């Protein structure tokens, strides 16, 4: 089976750089994958993509060296299994608030006897190799999003779930949950303390943490704070910023 590059990076105690696709453009997905990103996440929760075009998005990313990953729209077994069948090497599940919900994510994404994933001769075998079934349970990345007060309160129990690789911090929703107005890194000490707590507890559990950042500087900061998977921005926000900067030059 093709090795999971992100897991290889983690094995060296290094931080993986991850792109994020909010549009449904296979061209942009391939372009981000061909950059210096170690992985690319297709966002099915808030992005324009859905299960109807996910297969093409996975193929576009797979044409590069980046690891194809998916942020799921919800913790639904059928969706999890199909995303993996299409070629996702990692799944990020939103709004995981309890250990039971984290366990459901793991169960749906692992073949028996460790889980309840249904087998299909799917597209992923073309990408991963004929021995995919034998190694998928170990190579697939499973991250539970911590973005609510309940999830934060149950963090240690969530991290204790066998087969869960770690957590992915949703700083915007977590800020809102804490009664704060979202902003870039360093805006609220209360949020920074919560993020530091999540990262520390995750490391103590021997697992990995990821986070969405407000840009390259924010991602670099999170890397220095010990986060294992950093997302500098989504391609949609990057395009918007670059366009605004160029038009500002024109109008100056």
Mean pLDDT of the region 170-179: 97
Mean pLDDT of the region 211-220: 96
Average pLDDT, the chain: 97
The pLDDT-based confidence of 11 (bands split at 50, 70, 90) is very high
Contact 172, 160 (CB under 8 A): no
Q: Of the residues 46, 52, 188, 197, which is catalytic? A: 46
- Residue 119 has what pLDDT? 97
Task: Supply 53's token pair.
Answer: 């075009």
Supply the DSSP symbol for 234. B
Mean pLDDT of the region 37-52: 97
**68 φ/ψ angles, rounded to the nearest 5 degrees:** -75, 130
User: What percentage of the chain reaches a pLDDT higher than 90?
Assistant: 99
Please tell me whether the overall predicted TM-score, pTM, comes out greater than 0.85 for this model: yes
- Residue 17 has what pLDDT? 98
User: What percentage of the chain reaches a pLDDT higher than 70?
Assistant: 100
Task: Find all residues with CB under 8 Å of 121, minimum gap 6, and list them.
Answer: none
Q: 219: domain range? A: 5-251
pLDDT tens for 48-96 read 999 999 999 999 999 999 999 999 999 999 999 999 999 999 999 999 9
Catalytic site residue 46?
yes
What is the CATH number for 209?
Answer: 3.20.20.60
**Closest by Cα among 34, 8, 5, 2 to 19:** 34
The H-or-E segment that residue 189 falls in is helix 189-204
- Residue 123 has what pLDDT? 97
Mean pLDDT of the region 228-240: 93
The pLDDT-based confidence of 132 (bands split at 50, 70, 90) is very high
Q: How far apart are CA 20 and CA 195, in angstroms?
A: 20
| Overall domain count for the chain | 1
pLDDT tens for 16-25 read 999 999 999 9
CA 190 vs CA 46, 154, 171, 196, 197: distances in Å: 26, 18, 12, 10, 11
Mean pLDDT of the region 158-184: 97
Contact 46, 21 (CB under 8 A): no
- Residue 145 has what pLDDT? 98
The pLDDT-based confidence of 160 (bands split at 50, 70, 90) is very high
């Amino acid at each position: 089976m093709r090795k999971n590059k992100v897991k290889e990076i983690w094995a060296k105690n290094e931080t993986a750089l991850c792109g994020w696709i909010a549009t449904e453009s296979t061209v942009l997905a391939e372009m981000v994958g061909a950059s210096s990103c170690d992985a690319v996440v297709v966002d099915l929760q808030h992005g324009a993509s859905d299960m109807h075009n996910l297969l093409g998005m996975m193929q576009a990313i797979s044409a590069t060296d980046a690891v194809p990953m998916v942020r799921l729209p919800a913790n639904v077994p059928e969706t999890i299994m199909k995303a993996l069948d299409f070629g996702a090497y990692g799944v990020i599940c939103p709004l995981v608030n309890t250990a039971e919900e984290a366990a459901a994510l793991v169960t749906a994404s692992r073949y028996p006897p460790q889980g309840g994933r249904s087998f299909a001769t799917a597209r992923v075998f073309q990408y991963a190799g004929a021995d995919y079934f034998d190694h998928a349970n170990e190579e697939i990345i499973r991250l539970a999003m911590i973005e609510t007060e309940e999830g934060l309160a149950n963090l240690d129990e969530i991290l204790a779930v066998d087969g869960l690789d770690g957590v992915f911090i949703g700083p915007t929703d977590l800020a809102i949950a804490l009664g704060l107005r979202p902003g870039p890194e360093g805006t609220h000490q209360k949020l920074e303390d919560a993020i530091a707590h999540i990262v520390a507890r995750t490391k103590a559990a021997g697992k990995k943490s990821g986070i969405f950042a407000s840009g390259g500087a924010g991602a670099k900061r999170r890397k220095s704070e010990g986060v294992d998977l950093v997302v500098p921005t989504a391609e949609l926000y990057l395009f918007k910023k670059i366009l605004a900067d160029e038009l500002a030059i024109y109008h100056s």
